Amino acid sequence: MANLKEIRNRISSVSSTMQITSAMKMVSAAKLKKAQDAITAMRPYSNKLTELLQTLSATLDADSGSKYSVVRDVKNVLIVSITSNRGLCGAFNSNIIKQTNALIKDVYSDKNVSVLAIGKKANDAFTKQNRVIANKSEVYDDLTFNNVAAIAELLMEKFIEGDFDKIVLVYNNFKNAATQIIMTEQFLPIVAMEGEANVNSDYIFEPSKQEIVETLIPKSLKTQLYKGIRDSFASEHGARMTAMHKATDNATELRDQLKLTYNKARQASITNEILEIVGGAEALNN
């Protein structure tokens, strides 16, 4: 019977775990809906703003380039690694950490690489390597454009002052609840639009194109970072919902197997007791 008691305890433990993972799945599903609506709503604006900026920038003379597009000899690189503050979301965080490590060891192996962590998981991973210059994990406490804009301004300031020659974003791009695409995106310097510019010469710019571009660039960079963090936020809840769904299914399967094992062990125990009774009765008769 001790064995049966152990199996009953395991069934109870697995059932409790299944209830927790099922509840976490429903919570993530509710949060995912809001996060997905937010990123879906801002993508057209972000894409159009980037397209407008690139089109206008391509028409400017080379001598009138922006301070945000200055290409320097790359010696110091800053990687903005965007993860989550919490785990239990499958490979969501580990994929970003692996990609950041791949950039450090392979792509920028001969550079001085630092990390700005957005998310406690990135901060924990790269603090051990003494690469973290700032931890902005608190942005998830109130994920608004203004709070993200402050981080973007910090990045722009460090690039202009020459602290870093190149700034790269690494984050999960939200495709759907089950699929997240790892993105490595250059933040600064701004990459010029390839191909010929398509700007109608009949347009009258007020103020000048140069002034418009100088105004649009900071706004575009802030929007780019906000979109990346929003993408990551939606991806986190999609990954957690998927992970908890799989965990619930696995717990259900394990519980069913344990119940089957319990019933078999109980049947065997009852059979043994019956055989002992029958054997004892026959011994008395003899």
Half-sphere exposure of 38 (CA within 13 A, CB side): 18
Tell me what the mean pLDDT of segment 191-201 comes to: 55
Specify whether the backbone of 38 is left (phi greater than 0), alpha (psi in -120 to 50) or beta: alpha
Q: Which of 161, 147, 192 is nearest to 78 (CA)?
A: 161
For the chain, how far is it from start to end, CA to CA, in angstroms? 31
Does 89 participate in catalysis according to the annotation? yes
Q: Where in the chain are the domains?
A: 2-23+245-285, 35-243
The alpha-helical segments, DSSP class H, found in 60-177 are: 92-102, 120-127, 145-160
CA distance 160 to 84: 28
Per the prediction, the chain carries an average pLDDT of: 88
Classify residue 194 by its DSSP letter.
P
pTM: 0.84
Q: What is the pLDDT of residues 111-129, one digit of tens each?
A: 999 999 999 999 999 999 9
Is 35-243 the same fold as 2-23+245-285? no
CB 129 within 8 A of CB 148: no
Are 226 and 155 spatial neighbours (Cβ–Cβ below 8 Å)? no
Catalytic site residue from 11, 89, 156, 217: 89
Q: Measure the CA–CA gap between 48 and 28, rounded to whole angstroms.
A: 30
Q: CA dihedral defined by 200, 205, 210, 213, rounded to 10 degrees?
A: -80
The Cα 35–Cα 123 span in angstroms is: 23
Q: 41-91, pLDDT tens digit by residue?
A: 998 998 888 777 777 766 665 545 578 888 899 999 999 999 999 999 999
SS3 202: coil
CATH number of 2-23+245-285: 1.10.287.80
**Residues 35-243, CATH architecture:** 3-Layer(aba) Sandwich (3.40)
What share of the chain has pLDDT > 90, as a percent?
A: 63
pLDDT in tens, 131-153: 999 999 999 999 999 999 999 99
